[in-house]
Amino acid sequence: DAKTTQPTSMDCAEGRAANLPCNHSTISGNEYVYWYRQIHSQGPQYIIHGLKNNETNEMASLIITEDRKSSTLILPHATLRDTAVYYCIVRVGGGNTPLVFGKGTRLSVIA
């Protein structure tokens, strides 16, 4: 069972920042927060992951609250190509534990 809660859908205006929230109130101390997205009819694409510190890469920023019970994925300047389903997943780092997908958030970027 997925251990995260995400809104079903969100809209964002093109060029604006998209802020996607995720609740993971039962996260364990050794579990990381991973974000993936799936554009229609493609395999999931890795975006970013973090343990407790905020992280940033060329795609997005990940903000994790101090108590680690929630996080926000930020796409700083959304484009139409960012329209996808975004999945927030918690999992222990390393090892062979697979990613378990919930329903995710369907982000629609609107021109």
Partner 1 sequence: GAVVSQHPSWVICKSGTSVKIECRSLDFQATTMFWYRQFPKQSLMLMATSNEGSKATYEQGVEKDKFLINHASLTLSTLTVTSAHPEDSSFYICSAKEQAMTQYFGPGTRLLVL
Residues contributing to the site for partner 1 (CB under 8 A): 34, 36, 38, 41-46, 49, 87, 93-94, 96, 98-104
> Minimum distance between the CB of residue 31 and partner 1, rounded to whole angstroms?
14
Where do the H-state alpha helices sit in the chain? none
Nearer to partner 1, 15 or 93 (CB): 93
CA 54, CA 44: separation in Å to the nearest integer? 22
| Helix/strand/coil for 82 | helix
> Minimum distance between the CB of residue 94 and partner 1, rounded to whole angstroms?
4
Contact 108, 21 (CB under 8 A): no
> Minimum distance between the CB of residue 16 and partner 1, rounded to whole angstroms?
26
Q: Which residues of 76-93 are buried (b: 16+ CB within 10 A; e: fewer)?
A: eebeeebbbbbbbbbbee
Nearer to partner 1, 52 or 106 (CB): 106
Nearer to partner 1, 35 or 70 (CB): 35
